Structure 1
Amino acid sequence: MHQALRPPPQAPIDEAVAAHVERALTDYLASRHADMAEAAPSFGSAVASLSGFVLGGGKRIRPTFAWWGWRGSGGSGDGPDARAVLRGVSALELIQACALVHDDLMDASAMRRGKPTVHVEFAARHREQGWLGEPDRFGAAAAILLGDLALAWADDMFATSGLDAGRLAAALPPWQAMRAEMLAGQYLDVLTQAKGDETEATALSVARMKTAAYTVERPLHLGAALAGAPAPTVAALREFGADIGLAFQLRDDLLGMYGDTAETGKPAGDDLREGKRTLLMSIGMAADPVKAELLRSALGDDDLTEQTLSDVRQVLVEVGAVAEVERRIDALTEAALAALLRADLAAPADRVLADLAVAAGRRTR
């Protein structure tokens, strides 16, 4: 299995949240892999691939926001409660793994984090072994099942984290809402592509449901609920999270069009090939009826050439779509920071979350 970076033994969680999350995931997945390898050896190698996917990259954004939601709402940074919360919020990465594995399959993406996606990996395994049937169908089946397993294990890891019954009960509403909203956002994404809906309102709705809610808003809500935060604090944190989550997705849209593949781990232009009507594309198509035809013709083009991608990039700059998305990222960040002040969080969470908000809009991968 992947050997995750472990934090120094005495490093406080506050100083190395992502590394502590990595260790919690490594330990949990090692235990589950051992159980599955013993019960069903043939499935053990598949589980090892899922573990490698979960531990093979990622910024651990969701657990980080959940942790600071806990700390800012009065939760301790050390002790048994803190360690149970850390294990509990680490389970968010398994929900993320489910979303990514299934999303890559639905979008027919070939790469994730610079490596073959799960369905591509298992289709290749089928071909190499000369098994019966269609390799691509086998790869799809494996991705569906492993994504489902990740979601099931997220529930298991959270439930067995060591949180007491009262905290588990308090966390249940945001946990359930987060799972449902993530799946609803995935459906809205594919529905929008199928209907060819180009409106800004729909693009924003997909971005809020698919990314903003379960990336920032609900993790913060989860952390606050675990700490027993009062309703005004929860409301302000959710407002902050919704705006930062949307800014995060809008930056992702720009990186999907203009980012460096070496940094993002995905080929530039993948959103175009997949036919995604992002806010960037919606603004571009509404800005110039003539140039919109080039943008529409590129959407969903599996054989997208470098020249066409370059032309699309140029058009989006010329019609002001890129500048408008950048403006909205700045406005969302400003509104989020105002909401954060209203949350009146304890230090150092107030400062850390402000820094995370700014970083979410400026990231390069």
Structure 2
Amino acid sequence: MLLDAVEGTLADFLAAQIVGLDAVDPALGSLARTTRDLVLAGGKRLRPTFAYWGWRGATGLGEPLDPALPALAALELMHTFALVHDDVMDESATRRGRPTAHRLFAGQHTRAGRLGDPGRFGTTAAILVGDLCLVWADQLLARAPLPTSTLFAVRSCYDRMRVEAVVGQYLDVLGESAPDEWSAERALLVARLKTASYTVQRPLQFGLALAGPVAAEIDDAYGRYGELVGEAFQLRDDLLGVFGDPAVTGKPAGDDLRAGKPTTLLLLARQLAATPAQRALLALDPAGAVNPADGSGGLNPSLISELISETGAPERIEAMIQERVATAVTVLADAPIEDEARTALVELAVRATQRPA
């Protein structure tokens, strides 16, 4: 019911945007349709789900859903902004098994026989799509029929979430250019800012703010639970980026390795490498990517993933995930929230961190 309601809210909002932009220029209508397709292209809808249960934790199940829907759906528009820009920065080819936004626009440019470089056009258009989604998220959030004081509290949490996502992404990009300055602890900081904040922690607190003035104990519990589960979510993502099945994840395996992204998994593997040969294979080439010294002349993801397994780093990451989820469940046990929300959040903690994609 929740996901259908969020999808319907997004579809109605985006349909109206398409009509408005079509009336200005058909090319803008086309832009809006491509953006709509990106927003509605599936996904786990974790952010509105966590926000919903954050809200229900304070209100119970009796409160009508409709007034909260614009705010919940706005989180998916913000998420699309982050994904589109992230894919541009990572030069990713696919997302959810489909071409990324910049690849879609490059393809449109080529098929239309336009002048100029299709890749440059695609990148430029994708950046604008991300910007548009962020503006639309603000517009949709503003439609929530909330008291002014409540809306200010919601906006405060929303703005903090956006800032943390942006600065976390900056640290992520910086880590690729200065990997020797990175540590597993700093990689976890990136996970807290870039992933935990806007995937779990702030959506929960955003949902709580929708309920109006509430006990500080709930906000504190959501903050701690959200940080733990959000970190575990990113640690699972690190594992999937190396060992996941592309047919399931919708993304090629080994992208993080090719980019030389200093994930907690890779940094732990370097720490645990027991022999000079292992350390050499996990070293970086001048461009920053993992460089297999096997004479292959380029990165060999299969070789590197096998080596990472040999170091025992994946088992260490699995233990870190389990520890964080167990602690998060303990935090919820003492939180003064509705029992239905507690049960749902325990289930979400497991589902978000044990996922295959």
TM range (shorter): over 0.9
Cα deviations by residue, 1:8-66 (Å, 9 ceiling, x for unpaired): xxxxxxxx222221111111111111111112321110111110011011110000000
3-state SS of 1:131 partner: coil
Residues 1:317 and 2:302 are matched in the alignment: no
- Are 1:131 and 2:118 matched, yes or no? no
Q: Distance in 2 between matches of 1:33 and 1:151?
A: 16
CA distance in 2, matches of 1:115, 1:229: 42
Match 1:292 to one of 260, 271, 279: 279
Alignment CA distance shift 1:77-1:101 (3 Å): farther
TM superposition shift of 1:292: 2.7
Q: Does 1:113 align with 2:100?
A: no
The whole-number CA distance in structure 2 between the counterparts of 1:292 and 1:39 is 58
- Percent identity between matched residues is 43
For residue 214 of structure 1, report the CA deviation from its aligned partner: 0.5
2-structure distance, mates of 1:287, 1:86: 47
Match of 1:339 in 2: 331
**Residue 164 (structure 1) shift:** 2.9
C-alpha contact (below 8 Å) 2:196/2:231 kept by paired residues = yes
Aligned to 1:363: 355
Q: Deviations over 1:153-193 (max 9, x none)?
A: 11110011222323211212211100101111111100111
**Corresponding letter in the other structure for 1:300:** A
**Separation of aligned partners in 2, 1:165 and 1:33:** 29
Partners of 2:282 and 2:290 within 8 A in 1? no
Structure 2 residue 348 is matched with structure 1 residue 353: no
SS at match of 1:71: helix
Tell me if 1:212 matches 2:206: no
CA distance in 2, matches of 1:77, 1:60: 23
Aligned to 1:231: 216
Instruction: Provide structure 2 residue ranges, at least 5 long, that are not aligned to the other structure.
Output: none
1:69-108 superposed matches below 5 A: 69-79=54-64, 82-108=65-91
2: CA distance between counterparts of 1:118 and 1:305?
Answer: 31
Give the secondary-structure state (helix, strand or coil) at the position aligned to 2:260.
coil
Report if the CA contact (8 A) 2:238-2:263 is conserved: yes
Contact 2:60 2:338 in 1 (8 A): no
Q: CA deviation at 1:77?
A: 4.5
Query: Residues 42-53 of structure 1: matches in 2 within 5 Å?
Result: 42-53=27-38
Supply the AA of the counterpart residue of 2:249: T
1:276 is paired with a residue whose SS is coil
Give distance in 2, aligned partners of 1:74 and 1:254.
36
TM-score (norm 1): 0.91
Q: What is the root-mean-square deviation in Å for CA atoms of aligned residues?
A: 1.9
Structure 2 partner of 1:37: 22
Aligned partners of 2:86 and 2:191: how far apart in 1? Answer: 14
Q: Which amino acid aligns with 2:218?
A: T
Kindly provide the amino acid, as one letter, of the partner of residue 289 in structure 2. G
Deviates more, 1:285-294 or 1:176-185: 285-294
The two structures have a TM-score, normalised by structure 2, of: 0.93
Q: 1:65 matched to which residue of 2?
A: 50
Deviations 1:189-216 (A, max 9, x none): 0011111233111111111111001100
AA at the equivalent of 2:77? L
Structure 2 distance, partners of 1:223, 1:302, is 44
Amino acid corresponding to residue 295 of structure 1 in structure 2: L
**How far off is 1:125 after superposition?**
1.4
Farther off after superposition, 292-301 or 317-326: 292-301
The reply to whether residue 327 of structure 1 matches residue 312 of structure 2 is no
- 8 A Cα contact 1:88 1:163, kept in partner: no
* SS in structure 2 of the partner of residue 205 of structure 1: helix
Following the alignment from structure 1 to structure 2, what is the Cα–Cα distance between the partners of residues 139 and 184? Answer: 24
Report the Cα distance in structure 1 between the residues aligned to 2:291 and 2:283, rounded to whole angstroms.
13
Cα distance, 1:87 vs structure 2: 2.1
Paired residue type of 2:113: G
| Cα distance in structure 2, aligned partners of 1:55 and 1:62 | 14
> Does the CA-based 8 Å contact 1:256-1:270 persist in structure 2?
yes
1:200 paired to 2:189: no
Whole-angstrom distance in 2 between the partners of 1:148 and 1:358:
33
Q: Secondary structure at the match of 1:364?
A: coil
Q: Is the CA contact (8 Å cut-off) linking 2:157 and 2:205 kept in structure 1?
A: yes
Pick from 136, 154, 166: which aligns with 1:183?
Answer: 166
Shift of 1:293: 2.3
Per-residue displacement from partner, 1:314-359 (whole Å, max 9, x unpaired)? Answer: 1111111000000000000011111112222102111000111111
Q: Partners of 2:146 and 2:246 in 1: how far apart?
A: 40
